[in-house]
Amino acid sequence: MKNKSFFRFSARICGVALAAMLMSACATPPTDPEARKSFDEANDPLEPTNRTVFEFNMAFDKYLLKPVAEGYRWSLPDDTRAVIRRVLANLRAPVTFGNDVLQGNMGRAMETLMRMTVNTIMGMGGMFDVAGQYGLQRHEEDFGQTLAVWGFDEGPYIMLPIFGPSNIRDAIGLGVDAVADPLGWFIGTPELFARAAVGGIDRRSEVIEPLDELERTSVDFYATIRSLYRQRRNDEINNGAPGMNLPAPSISYDFPDDEKIAEPPPPRNPAPAPAAETPAAPAPSLVAKPAS
Amino acid sequence: MIRRAFLSGLFAVSLLAMAPAVSAGPLEDESRIFVKGLADRAIAVLKADAPKAQRDKVFEDILREGFDIKAIAIFCVGGYWNKMTEQERQGYLSLFEKLIVQTYSSRMASVYNGQNLEIGAARPDGKAGSWVTSQIVSGNPADQSLRIDWRVRQVDGKGLKIIDVVVTNISMVVTQRDDFVGILQRNNGNIPEFIGMLRDKVAKLQAP
């Protein structure tokens, strides 16, 4: 298998990250009940280490990724970048197909398979989204989502070097997808790296202004990214079904009209029901966690 | 991942073109009209590409009239609200409103590019509230539309108020709460320091 060394490299990255985490001190859970509650909700016992990695990622972004992404966006016309994006998306289709099947979603698996076939042949290697014009919309699945569908808990939040926000479940998924990607049967490690690099640059180039704005307007950018990551993943796991990821702030405060505030619609994942009598609104647990 | 999440956030208060939709009852219909009215005003000022001060003013008016800003502010500090003195609460509430105006005025102006908002159906959310669904659509059919859900509730004596804006299942209120609680968690619940940080952030964002 040509992608063996790619796997070995990924494994090494994971190993280094894991070692760094184990060596560094975990955050000590606070004793104050309120602080303890938010500590548990953040699900980020490795926060001190994660913040260090985040700093590193921010520096990596500032000095390398963002300038390259800006150059990429500046030098290539929109249409060209759209073609690159579609080719990359088409190359990703086998992984999505595999995960559709593993999640038992045969309808979506068929969609992915048809898209891949039509776009590879009629869309000239995925350069054009012919299937999309016939109403077959693209979706993505990964093994982290598959694990979630199988009932795995997300595990603690982890900030991976370069790869960015993740958690134990999604980091495992990332590794499994990389190893199992059938593309590795056909192309070598340098090409896999090139694909990963172009994909990363392309995705970064799409969010230059939004990320700048998000950073500028956040008080704690790290915590904001953590929140967005979790909500976004939950949306992806539920395949974007409306109302499945609802914030469930039962916005029940010490207000006179407390009784009038409705319970949030039940999320798909059995989140702990927010207690109506809690004075402060309970945080929505976006992914089901075992009762502690 | 950040992209959709974020773009969504940017459009949290946005533009509408009314589309025919099915509704469940009078409260739902009223809520749809209410959301559309607010969004129309935001769109108008974004379309006009008005100067920052004017745009900020419109967003401030929309926020004050259309949102249960106090309820949202309290939600956003989690249990730390109970630990704030009366004076800290007043300071926090005033800064919170300013922060939200600045955040959304600037986010939306930075990404607005002629999109429209189509109001969809509404469904009940308990006895006194409803969810109004909508879609952000651009002129370009190749772009995917973004779903935005508005959580509206009836507040005694004040009429309808929005309490959350949820973009592709990402709640703006939860995201804001996680931002604030992240800070409070990290500084061991030091509320004066937190309010100081908010003040600095607002001052920075208000600068022209």
The string of DSSP letters for B2-18 reads HHHHHHHHHTSS---EE
pLDDT at residue B41, rounded to an integer: 92
Count of residues making up chain A: 292
Picking from A32, A254, A262, the nearest residue to B127 by CB comes out as A262
Residues paired with residue B166 on neighbouring β-strands, in sequence order: B149, B171
Angle (CA) B104-A233-B77 rounded to 5° is 45
Kindly report the nearest CA distance between residue B159 and chain A, in angstroms: 13
Cα torsion B206, B74, B4, A73 to 10°: value is 20
Which pTM value belongs to this model?
0.80
A209 neighbourhood in chain B, CB within 8 Å: 110-111
Kindly report the nearest CA distance between residue A133 and chain B, in angstroms: 9
Q: Once rounded to an integer, what is the mean pLDDT over residues A24-45? A: 78
Contact yes or no for B101/B69 (Cβ under 8 A): no
**Distance separating alpha carbons of residues A195 and A174, to the nearest angstrom:** 15
Distance of CA B130 to the CA centre of its chain: 16
* DSSP designation for B140: -
* DSSP designation for B206: H
Complex ipTM > 0.85 = no
Residues 6 or more apart whose CB falls under 8 angstroms from that of B41 comprise B58, B61, B62
Among B98, B151, B164, B177, most A C-beta atoms within 10 A, so best to mutate, is B177
Contact yes or no for B35/B67 (Cβ under 8 A): no
pLDDT tens for chain B, 208 residues long, are: 445 544 444 444 343 333 344 445 788 889 999 999 999 999 999 989 889 999 999 999 999 999 999 999 999 998 899 899 999 999 999 999 999 999 999 888 888 888 889 999 888 887 788 899 999 888 776 667 788 999 999 888 889 999 999 998 899 999 999 999 999 988 888 999 999 999 999 999 998 7
Tell which phi-psi region holds residue A135, choosing left (phi > 0), alpha (psi between -120 and 50) or beta: left
Residue B179 touches chain A, beta carbons under 8 Å? yes
State which H helix or E strand residue B145 sits in: none
pLDDT digits (tens, 9 = 90+) for A217-254: 999 999 999 999 999 999 999 888 765 445 444 444 33
Contact A283 B177 (CB under 8 A): yes
Residues 6 or more apart whose CB falls under 8 angstroms from that of B129 comprise A261, A262, B151, B152, B153, B154, B163
**Distance separating alpha carbons of residues B43 and B48, to the nearest angstrom:** 8
Distance of CA A272 to the CA centre of its chain: 23
Distance of CA A160 to the CA centre of its chain: 12
Q: Which of B21, B19, B9, B58 is nearest to B38 (CA)?
A: B58
**Distance separating alpha carbons of residues A14 and A54, to the nearest angstrom:** 16
